[in-house]
Amino acid sequence: MTRGKVFGANNRIRVAVVGVRSRGGTHISTFTNLKGSEVVALCDCDKGTLARRAGRLEKQTGKRPKTYVDMRDVMADDAIDAVSFATPNHWHTLGAVWACRAGKDVYVEKPLSHEVWEGRQLVAAAKKYGRIVQHGTQRRSNPNWIRAMQRLHAGAIGDVYMARGLCHKRRDSISYKWAEPAPDWLDWNLWQGPAQERQFSRNYVRYDWHRFWDYGNGDIGNQGVHRLDVALWGLGKGFPTRGMSLGGRYGYEDQAETPNTQVCNYAYDDGTMLVFEVRGRAANDEGGIKVGNIFYGSEGYMVDKTLFDKDGNEIPDDDRAIPPDLAGLSDEDSTAHFSNFLKAIHSRKQADVHGTALDGHLASGYCHLANISYRLGREFHFDPEKERFIGEHADRGNAMLKRDYRKEFEVPQLA
């Protein structure tokens, strides 16, 4: 299915941003400042934040965007070409599938999914409805990272046998905030969406939702998914065949459910390994990084984008493939990634997408596999083709690959 209408004035992509409080602010400002797009609508079930964001955008552009509390109204608006999602994790897949079904292209923040099963449904939705879906792992569009991966894949450090991802970010206690009536500024029913209904707590919203299984995926599904995506990009792997994750919540007691310290080991049939670590308390750096990636090869190693030989000497890059004006682009800068999304919308070529729905499904799925192992306290064995646990205790793991959705908020089965 391809949309039959033209884009907005001057061939600009008309974008709606869903989830406008934190990361959504970057979506709004970047799509507004890029010449190829215009933010024409905002959506959030936090009605106070929605009004403030709309007012700021009107002041900046001279045009007031449409505002919606329910994202289903965004899907029904034919004047919107693309939807950019910066909601909490539990809404990412369902919102993106709805947008694909409505004939809109999708930029979806990480992680692409809240569980393994629903990520595969979004991959299928992108294919079924012929939509461009880009995952918000912006290093895929960073020219420095692109060049580093070219060198890695060309054998600059030999045969890569292990990748590591590090997320050493201090995360302090969120204390306790017990149930209370939902505030008037929030549509609590819509905020919960696919998750099972709970009484409102202020710890469930405003970033700390990351710490609860119904809404977030812990730090491995927050910052960690970026680094798992880089590790998989370098290794060129699909899902692992076995793994184990251990950890806990150390240094304080609070209301949160997810670990602040987590070690994850993944293995493949060819003997290659991927190791990922979350450290939310005091931690040293490794190779000069606290949040980043390390690759180990038979002839050297790579720390983030810098390659070293066996003796620790930097391997120079003689191929000046990166334009000088892009060489200093920050890893955290999303501009190139959003720009790439617009390019792919115009070309309609999946090959133009940096960070496809499948890339996002894999990187996010690694987070979910680790969290299932952590919660069950067991090693897992996994069938990468069927995307199911196998062997002893497989039933318990498979029951956690898909959540129980609330009525009216079910992710449809498409694969």
Is 9-140+333-356 a domain of CATH 3.90.550.10? Answer: no
Percent of the chain with pLDDT over 90: 93
Say if CB 13 and CB 342 are below 8 A apart: yes
The pLDDT mean for the chain works out to 95
Average of per-residue pLDDT across 27-33? 97
Average pLDDT (383-406) is 97
Is the bond into 240 cis (omega within 30 degrees of 0)? Answer: no
Give backbone dihedrals phi and psi of 379, rounded to 5 degrees, phi first.
Answer: -65, 150
Classify residue 360 as left (phi > 0), alpha (psi -120 to 50) or beta: alpha
Across the range 106-127, mean pLDDT stands at 98
pLDDT at 25 over 60: yes
Check if the beta carbon of residue 359 is closer than 8 Å to that of residue 137: yes
| CB 334 within 8 Å of CB 121 | no
* Phi and psi at residue 150, to the nearest 5°: -60, -45
Arithmetic mean of pLDDT, 338-343: 97
Per-residue pLDDT tens over the stretch 226-250? 999 999 999 999 999 999 999 999 9
- Across the range 81-106, mean pLDDT stands at 98
The predicted pLDDT at position 322 comes to: 56
Residue 392 banded pLDDT, cuts 50, 70, 90: confident
pLDDT band of 2, cuts 50, 70, 90: very low
Q: How far is CA 113 from CA 36, 63, 88, 334, in A?
A: 28, 33, 10, 20
Sign of CA dihedral 233, 236, 239, 244: negative
pLDDT at 5 over 80: no
What per-residue confidence (pLDDT) applies to 321?
A: 57
Residue with tokens 């010449």: 35
Asked whether 268 and 157 are in contact (CB, 8 A), the reply is no
Residue listed under structure tokens 């539990």:
90
Q: pLDDT class for 11, splitting at 50, 70, 90?
A: confident
CATH H-level superfamily of 143-175+201-329+361-398: Dihydrodipicolinate Reductase; domain 2 (3.30.360.10)
| pLDDT tens, residue by residue, 165-193 | 999 999 999 999 999 999 999 999 999 99
- For the chain, the domains span 9-140+333-356, 143-175+201-329+361-398
pLDDT recorded at residue 333: 80
**Which comes out higher in pLDDT, residue 84 or 11?**
84
Q: Does the pLDDT value for residue 393 go beyond 60?
A: yes
Residue 261 predicted with pLDDT over 90: yes
Joined together, the tokens standing for residue 197 give 């209904």
Q: What is the pLDDT of residues 297-308, one digit of tens each?
A: 999 999 999 999
Q: Tell whether the model's pLDDT for residue 323 goes beyond 60.
A: no
- What is the sign of the dihedral through the CA atoms of 372, 376, 378 and 381? negative
Mean pLDDT of all residues in 264-279:
98
Which tens digits make up the pLDDT trace of 34-84? 999 999 999 999 999 999 999 999 999 999 999 999 999 999 999 999 999
